[in-house]
Amino acid sequence: MQNKITKAIFPVAGLGTRFLPATKSIPKEIMSLVDRPLIQYAIDEARAAGIKEFIFVTSRGKSALEDYFDHAPHLEAELKKKGKDDLLEELKKTVMDSGRIAYIRQQKPLGLGHAVWCARRLIGDEPFAVILPDDIIAAEKPCLQQMVEAFEENPGNMVAAMEVPADRAHAYGILDVKEDMGSLVSVKGMVEKPKPGTQPSNLAVIGRYLLTPQILENLEAKETGAGGEIQLTDAIAHEITEGRDVFGFRFNGQRFDCGSKSGYLQATVSFALSRPELRDDLMEFLQTVVNMDQAAQ
Residues in touch with ligand UTP (CB under 6 A): 11-18, 28, 57, 106, 109-112, 114-115, 132-134, 259
| Rounded distance between C-alpha atoms, residue 82 and residue 65, angstroms | 27
Could you tell me which of 259, 268, 267, 225 has the C-alpha nearest to residue 17? 259
Q: What is residue 96's DSSP assignment? A: P
Distance CA 72, CA 226 (A): 42
| Min dist. Cβ of residue 104 to ligand UTP (A) | 10
| In the complex, minimum distance from the CB of residue 149 to ligand UTP, in angstroms, rounded to a whole number | 24
Is the Cα dihedral 118, 38, 61, 173 positive or negative?
A: positive
> For ligand UTP, which is the closer residue by CB, 38 or 272?
38
**Residue 36 — φ and ψ, nearest 5°?**
-125, 130
DSSP-derived 3-state class of residue 210:
strand
User: In the complex with ligand UTP, which residue's Cβ is closer, 27 or 79?
Assistant: 27
CA-to-CA distance for 209 and 290, rounded, in angstroms? Answer: 38
Minimal distance in Å, beta carbon 264 to ligand UTP?
Answer: 11
Closest CB to ligand UTP among 132 and 164?
Answer: 132
Enumerate the β-bridge partners of residue 161.
Answer: 205, 250
Shortest reach from residue 12's CB to ligand UTP, in Å: 5
Q: Which is nearer to ligand UTP, 42 or 79 (CB)?
A: 42
Distance from C-alpha of 232 to C-alpha of 53, rounded to nearest angstrom: 21
Long-range own/partner contacts, residues 288-294 (CB < 8 A, 24 or more apart): none
Helix, strand, coil shares of the chain, percent, nearest 5, are 40, 25, 35
Task: Give the residue at shortest CB distance from ligand UTP.
Answer: 14
Rg (CA), the chain: 20
CB of 133 to ligand UTP, least distance (A): 6
Minimum separation from the CB atom of position 14 to ligand UTP (A): 2
Residue 249 phi/psi, 5-degree rounding, is -120, 115
User: Pairing state of beta strands 184-192 and 173-180?
Assistant: antiparallel
> Among residues 15 and 77, whose Cβ is nearest to ligand UTP?
15
CB of 211 to ligand UTP, least distance (A): 14
In the complex with ligand UTP, the residue whose CB is nearer, 109 or 189, is 109
Please report how close the Cβ of residue 33 comes to ligand UTP at its closest, in angstroms.
Answer: 16
Nearest to ligand UTP of 7, 114 (CB atom): 114
Q: Which is nearer to ligand UTP, 40 or 106 (CB)?
A: 106
3-state secondary structure of 58: strand
